[in-house]
Amino acid sequence: MKKRHFMTALTAVLIFSVIPVFAGDAMWVTSDKARLKSKPKASSTTLATLPVGSRVSVLESKKRWYRVRTSSGEKGWMYRGKLSDTLPAKETEESDNLFSSMQSSSISADEAQTSRSIRGLSKETEQYAQQRGTPEVYKKALDQVLAIRITDKEVDLFLKEGKIGEYAP
């Protein structure tokens, strides 16, 4: 009788300790247009593209890649730099402001360099630049830089040629 209770308890412990292994660790996609790949290689076939905030379960890891299962049950590989173990914060508003995603940042400065102070181009930074006498040529140069648009394909090519991120050897 004691042996039977012991075996039942042992079986229960084993079952409850194995369930988390099969369930996988939860992670969330943190990069826009993160790609679920067929193999742990950037050049492999893309199975799906997942939006930021998508939840995945990690099944295994291999170097810089995780084999995951999506909430819809699809399995594939994702580069670890595209995932986080914490749910990404939702952005409160759409904005062209360069620093809009840093609203909750604790970064502060007593005095900013004039050339850096106008990057966000918000009303406050424009006023600050005017008060500090920032030359108009700096603002025009910054406007030209901010007007540059880069496609996803161009970014991907840059990462590939530079062997950066998921393209690193």
Q: Is 1 within the bounds of a domain?
A: no
80 plus 118 within the same structural domain: no
75 with 125, same domain?
no
Longest dimension (CA), the chain: 89
Judge whether 114 and 132 are in contact, CB under 8 Å.
yes
Clarify whether residues 81 and 125 are in a common domain.
no
Instruction: Say how many domains are in the chain.
Output: 2
The 8-class DSSP code of residue 80 comes to G
107 is a domain residue:
no
Same structural domain, 27 and 77: yes
Give the angle 145-148-151 at the CA atoms, nearest 5°.
145
What is the spatial distance between Cα 89 and Cα 53, in angstroms, rounded to a whole number?
A: 8
Q: Are strands 83-84 and 25-29 parallel, antiparallel or unpaired?
A: antiparallel
Rounded alpha-carbon distances, angstroms, from residue 42 to 5, 36, 50, 155: 52, 10, 15, 13
Closest CA to 29 of 76, 81, 105: 81
On whether residue 153 sits in a domain, the answer given is: yes
HSE, CB side, 13 Å, CA atoms: give it for residue 86. 3
Global confidence as pTM:
0.55
In a domain, 138, yes or no: yes
Instruction: Look up residue 91 and give its DSSP letter.
Output: P
Q: Is residue 152 a contact partner of residue 128, using CB atoms and an 8 Å limit?
A: no
Q: pLDDT (tens digit, 0 to 9) for every residue of the chain, 169 residues total?
A: 566 655 565 555 445 444 444 445 899 999 888 999 999 999 999 999 999 999 999 999 999 999 999 999 999 999 999 999 988 887 544 444 444 444 444 444 443 444 444 445 577 877 888 888 888 888 888 888 888 898 888 988 999 999 998 888 8
- The dihedral sign for the CA sequence 73, 74, 75, 80: negative
Domain residue limits at 33:
23-86
